[in-house]
Amino acid sequence: MSGRRNRRSISARPLWVVMLLENNTFPEDSRVRNEATSLAAAGYRITVVAPRGRGQPRHEVIGGVEVRRFRLRAASGGAAALIGEFLLASSALNMTAIWALLRGADVLHLHNPPDTLFPAGWVARLAGRRVVFDQHDLAPELVGARTSAGWAIPIARWCERRTFRV
């Protein structure tokens, strides 16, 4: 990416990285915060899309990082609640990512869980953009630990394989 970055540094527009985060708020997720602020300090345009915590605005800039938040009700227990949370978050994140790609985003940085962000990754790859997958947790194992629904684990494995392929 350094060759591409050097070419871009000549132009007026820095590379735009869109980071998708579902399982924590921003800037509370220190791992994502450190990655995002480091990239912003290096001259990249960074947008983090994350769930909105209590009292957080829908949109703000923190340390040079544009933050866009969506409303997400955390799962309170059971397979249906967990899958509902993942579906809602995945819909919001995939739609926002595709919107950003249409507006010129250069890189999608996917954070898991969930491993359901591969559709946006497919669109990015088809558009010739780069995709970074940052594995925080083993999603099938997380599903197994948070629910007793054995049928959900093969679905989580299927999603994980699609994410790795992207």
To the question of pTM greater than 0.85 for the whole model, the response is no
Give percent of the chain with pLDDT exceeding 70.
Answer: 78
Query: Which residue reads 């669109």 in tokens?
Result: 123
pLDDT, greater one: 166 or 99: 99
- The answer to whether residues 160 and 143 touch, using CB atoms and an 8 Å cutoff, is no
pLDDT, greater one: 2 or 13: 13
Reference 113, options 159, 151, 48, 76; nearest CA is 159
pLDDT in tens, 63-116: 999 999 998 776 666 667 767 777 888 899 999 999 999 999 999 998 876 777
- The answer to whether residues 48 and 75 touch, using CB atoms and an 8 Å cutoff, is no
pLDDT bracket for residue 134 (50, 70, 90):
confident
Question: What does the pLDDT read at residue 52?
Answer: 92
Q: Phi and psi of 158, rounded to 5°?
A: -60, -45
Q: Is the pLDDT of residue 39 over 80?
A: yes
